[in-house]
Amino acid sequence: MHNVVSRQFFVIGGAVLGLVLGLPATPSSSTIISSPQEQEKQSQEGGHDPLEEIAKQIAGQENKPAPEVFKNIQMFKGLPAGQIPRIMRIYTRALGVRCNYCHVPGEWDKDDKAPKLVAREMGAMVGEINGRLLKNIKELEQDNPRVGCFTCHRGEAKPEGNMPPPKQ
């Protein structure tokens, strides 16, 4: 069942950041930037992007199953390793965070941060919503309705809990 749910996450464009990359630390991969604004500034000043670094580190292994390339993979086990950095980029944008929000820089396989653990659970929730619950709502006008991280987060790590006022 985990693989089925993981594929649903890929299809819907993201639900979790709970991926563990498990690559060895390198001098450049241990410097993770805290915010998207800082990332943009550093990139303009010749800095690096951790996801680009990871893509370079797995070069030549992109078609291998993710668990053969990355340590402690809990999600996306059925996907090729080359898809993982692309998926993580979608998630960082959906939540408005950088890699170090969920991951320990340079020690991607660690499960030391609560947001990473929460993200795995949120991913399971999204899989349940997309895989079972939305299909049972008969009056929806879409043939294949989907939710993803951005549905609630809208670029924020912690989504707004209050409903907006009704339109008048």
Per residue in 42-78, pLDDT (tens digit) is 444 345 789 999 999 999 999 999 999 999 999 888 9
Per-residue pLDDT band for 163 (boundaries 50, 70, 90) equals: confident
Question: In the numeric block, which tokens belong to residue 99?
Answer: 């890699």
- The answer on pLDDT for 84 being more than 70 is yes
Q: Is 107 helix (H, G, I), strand (E, B) or coil?
A: strand
pTM of the model: 0.66
Distance, C-alpha 53 to centroid of its chain:
16
More confident residue, 10 or 37: 37
List pLDDT tens digits, range 91-113.
Answer: 899 999 999 999 998 899 999 99
Closest C-alpha among 87, 148, 155, 156 to residue 122: 148
User: What are the b/e assignments for 62-87, b being 16+ CB within 10 Å?
Assistant: eeeebbebbeebbbbeebbbbebbeb
